[in-house]
Amino acid sequence: MVKVNLEQVRMLRKDRRLSQEDVAKILGFNTVYPYHRKESGQQSFTAEELMKLAQLYKVPYENFFIFDIVENKDDEQELT
Protein backbone atom coordinates (compact mmCIF):
# COMPACT_ATOMS: atom_id res chain seq x y z
CA MET A 1 0.00 0.00 0.00
CA VAL A 2 1.26 3.48 -0.84
CA LYS A 3 0.45 6.55 1.25
CA VAL A 4 1.39 10.20 1.01
CA ASN A 5 3.86 11.14 3.73
CA LEU A 6 2.04 14.18 5.11
CA GLU A 7 4.71 14.75 7.73
CA GLN A 8 7.30 15.10 4.95
CA VAL A 9 5.04 17.55 3.09
CA ARG A 10 4.62 19.62 6.25
CA MET A 11 8.31 19.47 7.21
CA LEU A 12 9.51 20.61 3.78
CA ARG A 13 7.10 23.55 3.84
CA LYS A 14 8.24 24.61 7.30
CA ASP A 15 11.93 24.14 6.45
CA ARG A 16 11.48 26.60 3.59
CA ARG A 17 9.63 28.98 5.91
CA LEU A 18 6.52 28.94 3.78
CA SER A 19 3.05 29.28 5.22
CA GLN A 20 0.15 27.10 4.18
CA GLU A 21 -1.25 30.21 2.49
CA ASP A 22 1.98 30.62 0.46
CA VAL A 23 1.82 27.03 -0.79
CA ALA A 24 -1.93 27.26 -1.42
CA LYS A 25 -1.31 30.20 -3.78
CA ILE A 26 1.52 28.36 -5.55
CA LEU A 27 -0.80 25.39 -6.13
CA GLY A 28 -3.48 27.71 -7.48
CA PHE A 29 -5.97 27.68 -4.63
CA ASN A 30 -7.96 30.86 -3.94
CA THR A 31 -7.85 30.31 -0.17
CA VAL A 32 -5.71 28.39 2.32
CA TYR A 33 -8.57 26.03 3.30
CA PRO A 34 -8.20 23.45 0.48
CA TYR A 35 -4.47 23.19 1.08
CA HIS A 36 -4.94 22.88 4.84
CA ARG A 37 -7.37 20.00 4.26
CA LYS A 38 -4.82 18.21 2.08
CA GLU A 39 -1.84 18.73 4.40
CA SER A 40 -3.90 17.53 7.38
CA GLY A 41 -5.02 14.38 5.53
CA GLN A 42 -8.70 15.29 5.27
CA GLN A 43 -8.44 15.36 1.47
CA SER A 44 -5.98 13.69 -0.91
CA PHE A 45 -3.30 15.46 -2.90
CA THR A 46 -3.49 14.96 -6.65
CA ALA A 47 -0.49 13.66 -8.58
CA GLU A 48 -0.17 17.08 -10.23
CA GLU A 49 -0.08 18.83 -6.85
CA LEU A 50 2.61 16.47 -5.58
CA MET A 51 4.67 17.11 -8.71
CA LYS A 52 4.39 20.87 -8.15
CA LEU A 53 5.48 20.42 -4.53
CA ALA A 54 8.45 18.30 -5.61
CA GLN A 55 9.51 21.05 -8.02
CA LEU A 56 8.95 23.76 -5.42
CA TYR A 57 11.01 21.97 -2.78
CA LYS A 58 13.53 20.57 -5.29
CA VAL A 59 13.14 16.99 -4.09
CA PRO A 60 12.32 13.77 -5.94
CA TYR A 61 8.60 13.11 -6.30
CA GLU A 62 9.08 9.78 -4.51
CA ASN A 63 10.00 11.60 -1.27
CA PHE A 64 6.31 12.18 -0.66
CA PHE A 65 5.38 8.50 -0.41
CA ILE A 66 5.41 5.82 2.27
CA PHE A 67 5.49 2.29 0.90
CA ASP A 68 3.93 -0.27 3.25
CA ILE A 69 5.23 -3.78 2.61
CA VAL A 70 3.01 -6.74 3.31
CA GLU A 71 4.75 -8.83 5.95
CA ASN A 72 2.19 -11.51 6.73
CA LYS A 73 1.62 -14.36 4.28
CA ASP A 74 -2.11 -14.35 5.15
CA ASP A 75 -2.27 -10.68 4.13
CA GLU A 76 -0.73 -11.58 0.76
CA GLN A 77 -3.42 -14.20 0.12
CA GLU A 78 -6.17 -11.68 0.89
CA LEU A 79 -4.78 -9.35 -1.77
CA THR A 80 -4.99 -11.96 -4.53
Q: Quote the number of domains for the chain.
A: 1
Identify the domain containing residue 29 by its residue range. 2-79
Altogether, the residues listed in the chain come to a count of: 80
In whole angstroms, what is the distance from residue 66 CA to residue 78 CA? 21
In 3D space, the residue among 46, 57, 47, 72 whose CA is nearest the CA of residue 11 turns out to be 57
The CATH number given to whatever domain includes residue 49 is 1.10.260.40
pTM: predicted TM-score of the whole model, two decimal places:
0.79
Low-confidence ranges of the chain (pLDDT < 50): none
Torsion of CA 43, 35, 13, 21, to 10 degrees: -170
pLDDT of residue 1: 78
Rg (CA), the chain: 15
